[in-house]
Structure 1
């Protein structure tokens, strides 16, 4: 789609939005005047209020858009001395696609490349151009693939796509701000919401067309082989980066531990997992489509590329990192500037894996010990008490206590893992073993000489009363002292918990009211006023005020592991009660006029309480 057509669509839709607003305001005003002329009652006053609300909301939204200024660009700026190869490549590609080169190149910690332009007069006058290049791409791609990606991005400049991007963005901001000011639940709000859907649908369709146009530059300048290869590899590198962050980088995050060399680790992971990544590349690219997507499916883009004429450009197989003068130094600067390290202790990868897993395992072991203490009637649990409980034939009870929301097989597997973790922590405390880091597989617990200690086998032996004596004998052979692993927390916390939902203004006996946050491991009860106005907004404000683990300390936290039994007293609006192991009963009821974060939040409560319901009670779905 040509730029002039896109400009016409953007301007027409944005102008149409304000024309619609003026028409609605005029119609409401005319009705208000007519009503006052025939009947100066409540109805006329209500129409006058709606008219003023719509007009005021429109003015406030428009004023905020006019005052909005672009934020500071993200990423690490690269000088020509720091990235001569990258700057030369950008200028060469810009010349080939027939556009002006970027004024600034910035390094970002994402699997992405992008361009932007600070324009004026609705995109008619160009401005400063910035190109963003992801460090993970420079580590994973060769030069030919990176040239293909950058040619695509510079193609957006050549097609004047970036000039009008600001206009499209302002248009979306204007519509969203107007809906926020007016409200989306009123009749007028529904009209604006419908127009907003139309605007976004048209913008996304135009955006998809622009991606195809930019892909043509990619094939023409970098060659078909490099263009198709980079398109296939992008989702693979993205999956590898997400896996790396979730499984390696944040392994000790909650214990305030972080890697000393993040990007160096990603390079090692790419080598260690090369076989798995090759399998991902061989799988069919995604063909999922949605009219709300800003980019076409990768399968469609590859098909379009393969149908284009090949320019015959020879692939450049050199690692893309050669375009940087000192990749390691720039990676360290980017890590310090762009990643949220904060006050975390920086460790080399092998130490981080050992310490991070130990810290995470301790939380699970504490839950195991607390459950064993309840079943064994002891003030505090330990590894010896856990083995005593399983030897009594109470393995199923213990497994259900530590993993109530899983099926019996998974409960048993989880219990075995927690016992193994307790054994590993004891051995680590005594200096007998450690968790061994690996880029090609998951970490495993080994002796100090690197040989497998077999804690998993001992954990399995600990589940069966007949084999518990064998487990004790194996522990004695290894020299593991039961007292070396201790329960560190007397009560469950919300560390590492995930938010599932929230329901505002739930009532409790005694005319108490709570906004209830639903976590995957418990409920947070936040005292609130009786009024149900703005309940959802209040929930959002609470969530923004602090992390979940701190909210659980600030307000009352009811972990599921403290629940002995539960009952669903009413299905809609939901009313339930939980009885704790201490004997206390907590009863909460949703009000008809209350609000929730999402329509499925009641189901989350039911699902959380289902393991504790009486055997003859059917959960309310």
Structure 2
């Protein structure tokens, strides 16, 4: 069966998807007519009202599905972004127009820059694409940042290739139909009554049939677009772009979570234009192997049986099987981002259009300040559970000693004694061991207080039992209990050390575009600190190495 015949079959199924709603309404109307005209329910007002209510409840999801189906073809498939005109970005527009000319298809009316690692051509068509409409091309700024100009040409050729093949005109209708079918099925997701569930189930089963029938058309269209890209932009640049895009996608996700949103704990953002622009620095600092590691560590999405895209390996194999066309992939070619004028201003405008309105009220911090904000937030988060547990343990120890009229067991520093005094001054409600909500006004123990509590033998006798843990771990005892909670205690002590070094000016922020942002600790501290904390949280705790390290020569690593 040819592609055109497959598309015609899909078009018939598409019409059937709409007619199914009409048929359901007709069946419902006929049932109501029989019940009401044959006096089967008119003898009782309650039965009449029940019949009307049932009919409305069933009509609502059917009409919802029909309108969702009709409106789906009018919805733009692209996301919001920053439109750029030929006068503003002539170099980028020149590449877009040349790619459309080579593909023998209509150029877009608009080019819109977006925030994702993506490229797409959308058309605001009517009647599910049977009538043409205004075309838009969406290009992700992170995609331009990571691709070279020759690889961008391959991406543009692929997108325009969806429209250049005469055999894919009806296939284009099929692709819009797939989107419309999925949109209609999703429209029933907000319904929580049985009528929605029943009618939605009918639509879902029909949608599965439609998607299965049209999958071969969708995949054939993708492969045809790959072939068009290879013919126009070159085999090697097309294959290289196809291999690189998943790596860029994983790297961008890592960048947003690790860098761009680093200051969320303090309601802070990077400098203006750097929320998206910082991705340039990450890519400049990372080697291709490092990007591959990010992609390998990423959990792959669950494959869909109705995915319109063939596996990347299959697409690459077909492209690489093409004869050599002499167009090599130039690794030294300029970045596609170089096609944009006034990059900083454009990135700032993109932020205004993409970020929510609330973002305008957030403070803007330089990258080192953001790293410090994140480091402080992390250190406090690690340390607080241990500090709370030590404070409660000290309070109980003080109460028991006061009752017995003796001295506190083990050494307590002046700071630790101050914690106990502060605890004694709180309200009687705060005296309950579980009343942490009323204890927020009291001072938390310092690093010195915690080390004194460890030296006083409280770590495994009192403190560890008061550290938060899942219910199933509460039954553990002895060594098993210590081994379970020890990593959390270790992290808490490390957090207190970090807070101490920050307060003393002995740690500086390290943006580390090639690794992970964090603190640069004093020289030779990493390995020595790990060993010292290991000793402090051992079954037989010894804080001497950590105290010696804290009192030693704390020099900052050279820049």
Superposition TM-score, scaled by structure 1 size: 0.67
Determine helix, strand or coil for the equivalent of 1:119: strand
Unmatched segments (≥5 aa) in structure 1: 481-621
Q: Does the alignment pair 1:95 with 2:118?
A: no
The residue aligned with 1:384 is 448
Unmatched segments (≥5 aa) in structure 2: 396-419, 424-442, 474-480
Could you tell me which of 173, 179, 183 is aligned with 2:183?
Answer: 173
- Higher mean C-alpha deviation, range 256-265 or range 310-319: 310-319
Whole-Å separation in 2 of the counterparts to 1:287 and 1:66: 30
Q: Does the alignment pair 1:122 with 2:186?
A: no
CA offset at residue 117 of structure 1? 0.9
The residue aligned with 1:353 is 371
Cα pair distance change 1:133/1:64, threshold 3 Å: closer
Whether the 8 Å CA contact 1:224–1:311 is kept in 2: the answer is yes
Q: Does the alignment pair 1:440 with 2:453?
A: no
Whole-Å separation in 2 of the counterparts to 1:67 and 1:283: 39
Cα pair distance change 1:368/1:6, threshold 3 Å: farther
CA offset at residue 114 of structure 1? 1.0
Q: Does the alignment pair 1:270 with 2:255?
A: no
The residue aligned with 1:605 is none
The residue aligned with 2:143 is 137
CA offset at residue 104 of structure 1? 1.4
CA offset at residue 167 of structure 1? 4.6
CA offset at residue 110 of structure 1? 0.9
CA offset at residue 39 of structure 1? 5.0
Q: Does the alignment pair 1:474 with 2:484?
A: no
The residue aligned with 1:415 is 489
Superposition TM-score, scaled by structure 2 size: 0.74
CA offset at residue 44 of structure 1? 9.1
The residue aligned with 1:324 is 340
The residue aligned with 2:254 is 243
Whole-Å separation in 2 of the counterparts to 1:5 and 1:330: 46
Determine helix, strand or coil for the equivalent of 2:537: coil
Could you tell me which of 269, 283, 301 is aligned with 2:315?
Answer: 301
Determine helix, strand or coil for the equivalent of 1:105: strand
Deviations 1:198-236 (A, max 9, x none): 334445554333211211111111111111111111111
Whole-Å separation in 1 of the counterparts to 2:103 and 2:334: 23
The residue aligned with 2:355 is 339
CA offset at residue 347 of structure 1? 1.9
Deviations 1:256-278 (A, max 9, x none): 12211234422221232215436
Whether the 8 Å CA contact 1:119–1:166 is kept in 2: the answer is no
Could you tell me which of 59, 69, 72 is aligned with 1:55?
Answer: 59
CA offset at residue 66 of structure 1? 5.6
Deviations 1:394-428 (A, max 9, x none): 34864565462489656423322221121211221
Larger-gyration structure (1/2) = 2
- Higher mean C-alpha deviation, range 410-419 or range 101-110: 410-419
Cα pair distance change 1:397/1:27, threshold 3 Å: farther
- Higher mean C-alpha deviation, range 18-27 or range 400-409: 400-409
Whether the 8 Å CA contact 2:146–2:283 is kept in 1: the answer is yes
Cα pair distance change 1:289/1:212, threshold 3 Å: farther
Map 1:11-90 onto structure 2 (within 5 A): 11-31=11-31, 37=38, 39-40=40-41, 49-63=53-67, 70=75, 74-90=80-96
Determine helix, strand or coil for the equivalent of 1:17: helix
Deviations 1:354-381 (A, max 9, x none): 2222123223322331122223325353
Between structures 1 and 2, the one with greater helix share: 2
The residue aligned with 2:164 is 158
The residue aligned with 2:407 is none
Whether the 8 Å CA contact 1:61–1:174 is kept in 2: the answer is yes
CA RMSD of aligned residues (A): 3.7
Whether the 8 Å CA contact 1:116–1:162 is kept in 2: the answer is no
